[in-house]
A and B are shown apart, each in its own frame.
Chain A
Amino acid sequence: KQEVTQIPAALSVPEGENLVLNCSFTDSAIYNLQWFRQDPGKGLTSLLLIQSSQREQTSGRLNASLDKSSGRSTLYIAASQPGDSATYLCAVRGDGASGSRLTFGEGTQLTVNP
């Protein structure tokens, strides 16, 4: 059974810092990996999606990498801003028989202080 772990559970940084959020998964037979942002009491907003054949994806100040063989992904946020404060979730979509399912990590709660 796929398990997804995110470290750290919470992170507090001053504005302007570059930061890295980590995601690890136990089964490397994945179809893709998706990073989401969730604001308090709200739904999920997709940030980046990396296919299993890709190594990284970039969108603005965000860069996500994937090392499928080691079961790891990182989300890099450059020049963090207070508006980046949210919970960041990593989700893995399985391959094969479990292909429709996403397995989520518990998230990293990020606070960027002005």
Chain B
Amino acid sequence: DVKVTQSSRYLVKRTGEKVFLECVQDMDHENMFWYRQDPGLGLRLIYFSYDVKMKEKGDIPEGYSVSREKKERFSLILESASTNQTSMYLCASRVTGGTEQFFGPGTRLTVL
């Protein structure tokens, strides 16, 4: 079974802090994705990566950056957290040419 893990289930940070959200998958998938989920807005794609050191902006990249130094790990970075980044963050992965995305358990981030 594919396993996608996220470093924290719950995280509380202060405005202005630099925040790292980590995602690791164990199935050698090339493609990895970061989404945020908000009531009334659904899931929205922030960034995705086709392979190591490659990244593409999704629909809402503003205020975020990403890092993919190793194939199994995809990090989402909030350079200076703001209260409007309080959300549920979901990571997913998929093999190139594969049909299905596999999701992690999510990180609920609160920015005070």
Contacts and interface: CB of A to CB of B under 8 A. Distances in A.
A in complex with B: yes
Interface of B: 4, 31, 33, 40-45, 48, 50, 56, 58, 88, 90, 92, 94, 99-106, 108
A11 to B, nearest CB: 17
Contacts of B90: 43-44
10 contacts: A34-B100, A43-B90, A46-B103, A93-B99, A100-B56, A102-B43, A102-B45, A102-B101, A105-B42, A106-B42
Contacts, number: 53
Please classify the interface of chain A as helix (H, G, I), strand (E, B), loop, or mixed, using the class held by over half of its residues: strand
A31 B99 CA distance: 9
Interface residues on A, range: 20 to 34
Given A89-B43, A104-B42, A106-B42, A41 B108 contact: yes
A49 interface: yes
